[in-house]
Amino acid sequence: MIKEIISKAEEKMKKSISVLKSDLSTMKAGRANPTMLDRIEVEYYGSMCPLSQVANISAPEPRILLIQPWEKSTIKDIEKAILKSDLGLTPSSDGIVIRLVIPELTEETRKILVKNVKKAGEETKVAVRAIRRDANDKVKSLKKDGDLSEDEIKKAEENIQKKTDAFIKEIDNIIVAKEKEIMSV
């Protein structure tokens, strides 16, 4: 029973970290990254589709994204979707491909991005700690039921804490790496 509680908690913590990684990958850090466009949805034959399902996205140069739609008729819809997004990028099209030039980040913009990265990291840490608290509560409820001894409860809580500490350390490493990426000119 304890192993099941711990494994579920660990799985939830892993999901929290994967959400953090995907959120950070969509932040623009001064260089072109096709994952920046993951959140953009394009109207395609009356329904909304992720941009990656209607076009090929590549980064031929460090600061340029190249979008090649599967169908030329979708170019206007893709441009509209990019303009409506919160990326603040202006697409330029030659009728065949769309180019997005990622502007050089100013020092002030970099600092704002770093602040957002730290905030995202802190929110993930809070989520991981909440998962720990829930797992500890479940373990303690087993004690009330009389299924476990005091030593088993203590050992389970220590195990949960070790896992939590490892995930918090991983979050810190992810944040530091993203900060370096953003602050490097």
Query: What pLDDT shows up at residue 119?
Result: 93
**How far apart are alpha carbons 158 and 139 in whole angstroms?**
11
Query: What pLDDT shows up at residue 47?
Result: 87
Question: What would the pLDDT profile of 72-97 be if each residue is shown by its tens digit?
Answer: 888 888 888 888 887 777 888 888 89
Give, in degrees to the nearest 5, the angle at Cα 140 between 152 and 19.
100
> What is the rounded average pLDDT of the residues 42-56?
87
- Neighbouring-strand partners of residue 61: 64
> What is the rounded average pLDDT of the residues 14-29?
84
**How far apart are alpha carbons 35 and 47 in whole angstroms?**
21
Residue 19, pLDDT above cutoff 80? yes
Q: What is the pTM of this model?
A: 0.70
Domains and CATH numbers, the chain: 2-25+106-183 (1.10.132.20), 34-101 (3.30.1360.40)
Band (pLDDT 50/70/90 cuts) for residue 185 is low
Kindly report the backbone phi and psi dihedral angles of residue 143, in degrees, each rounded to the nearest multiple of 5, phi listed first: -65, -40
